[in-house]
Structures are given as structure tokens and as C-alpha cells.
Amino acid sequence: METTDIINGTFSLIIVIVSFYVGGYIASRYRKFNRKTLLFVGLSWIGVNNGWWPSAISFLTTLIYGKSLPDPIYFFIGNAFIPFFLLIWMVAITELMYKDQQKPILALFTIIGTIFEIFFFYYLFTSPETIGESGAVNVEYKGFVSLYLIFILLTILITGLLFVRESLKSDNEVTKLKGKFLAVAFISYTIGAIADAMIPLTLLTLPIIRILLISSAIEFYIGWIMPERVQKYFLKRN
């Protein structure tokens, strides 16, 4: 592996670990607060970082065995579960907003996800090169897969900011503060994910982009959990 691959794989592994920790912690809080939306939100955060799972795994297999993941396995790990996690996110959003429109919204995303899965598995078994091309630890997706990933990013950004808008309307200062952190989280995640896919990953750009993605997880955690220290620090200054 080249130096860029090592840095890429290391950061992918960090992103996966952080996302599992943040998502798992948020999900675990649903019992304490009796809020099932926390379970959905936590699981969906783990899922939106699904794209870095195969990169992290391929990095480890290359380090240990000297071989990266075969393309079909890489593509499967990185894409097969995405419609499911997106649906969980939409369950969370429609629990928080648009409860009266939940069934048609979830039905629409189920249909879109099913169509994606049909095409994805068809090409995965017949011509994986149609899906994308992978390197030692990274991948470049093509065609309908790249379009679906853009659709997911836009869905998360738009629905996330709609929820933030409602939070900022609250009279509760803590709720407003949560909304501000979530706004930063959704924006930084979207910018980081787009940059990760579109900008050449070099020794300069890689750390910047991946640190931005890692920071989005921290902001997301604060926005949902709001540690007391953070709350006191920011509200004192206001």
C-alpha cells in the first residue's frame, strides 16, 4: 500500500469506530428516556457511515493478509444495507415531524429502496464493474449507485435541516442549542461526504476531509445528547 492508502484506511477505520460509538450510545439512551426515536436516530447514524465500512475492512485485510476485498464483497458491504438505514432515518424523522404523513412517506422510500436493491443485486452478480471500481481501500462508484448515494445525502441534509428549523423555533434554549449543533453536523457531514467522493484524495486533502467527517459525528452526538458541560459552556456565553 502507498502512504495515501494507509492514511485513507486509517481514517476510514476511525470514522467507522466513531460512528458505531456515537450511534450506539444515542441508540442506548432510548431506554433511559423512553424515546424510541433515539434508537432510530442512533442506528441511522451508524448506517449513514456505511460507505466507509468496506474501506476500513479492506484496509485491515490488506494489512493482515496482503489482499484487499474483492469488488463484489466491497460493493455489497458498502451498499446493500443503505436503503434499510435510510428507511430507519425516515422513521425517526416522521416520528419527530410529519407523523400524519408517515405511512405514505415510508412507503415511498421503501419502493425507492427496493428498486435500488433489485438493480444493485442484478449488477452485483452479473457485472460488478457497472457498479464501480475499487482500489486497495477506496472505491469510485458509477451510474445509478452514485446517483442513489447523492439522493441519500440530499435526503439526510434536507430532512435534517427541516428538523433543525423546528428546533430553532423552540423557546427552550437547550433545544435551540441542540438544533445549532445538529445544523453544523448535517452540513459538515454532507460537505465531507461529497468532498470524499469528488475531490482527489491526497496527503493534503485526505486528513482535512476525514477530520470534517469525524467532527460531524461529534456534533451529531452533542446535538442529540447535549452533555451538561457543553450546555453550561455555551449557554453561559449567551
User: Domains of the chain: which residue ranges?
Assistant: 3-237
- C-alpha 143/C-alpha 130 separation (Å) is 7
Print burial letters for 153-172: b (CB count within 10 Å at least 16), e (below 16).
Answer: bebbbebbeebbeebeeeee
First-to-last CA distance in the chain? Answer: 49
Band of residue 31 on the pLDDT scale cut at 50, 70, 90: confident
pTM of the model as a whole: 0.90
Residue-by-residue DSSP string for 21-43: HHHHHHHHHHHHHT-HHHHHHHH
Q: What is the pLDDT of residues 157-184, one digit of tens each?
A: 999 999 999 999 988 999 999 999 999 9
Residue 238 has pLDDT above 60, yes or no: no
**What amino acid occupies position 37?**
T
What pLDDT sits at residue 218? Answer: 96
What pLDDT sits at residue 237? Answer: 54
Other C-beta atoms lying within 10 Å of the C-beta of residue 33: 9
3-237: which CATH number, 1.10.3470, 1.20.1070, 1.25.40, 1.20.120?
1.20.1070
Distances (CA, A) of 235 to 9, 79, 176: 38, 41, 10
Residue 68 has pLDDT above 90, yes or no: no
Distances (CA, A) of 72 to 26, 56, 82, 123: 32, 16, 16, 10
Which one, of 9, 17, 142, 152, lies nearest residue 75 by Cα? Answer: 142
Which one, of 164, 175, 220, lies nearest residue 48 by Cα? Answer: 220
Q: What is the pLDDT of residues 121-160, one digit of tens each?
A: 999 999 999 998 876 677 888 889 999 999 999 999 999 9
Read off the C-alpha cell for 199. 475531490
Looking at the chain, the whole-number percentage of residues with pLDDT higher than 90 is 73
Mean pLDDT value of segment 178-193: 95
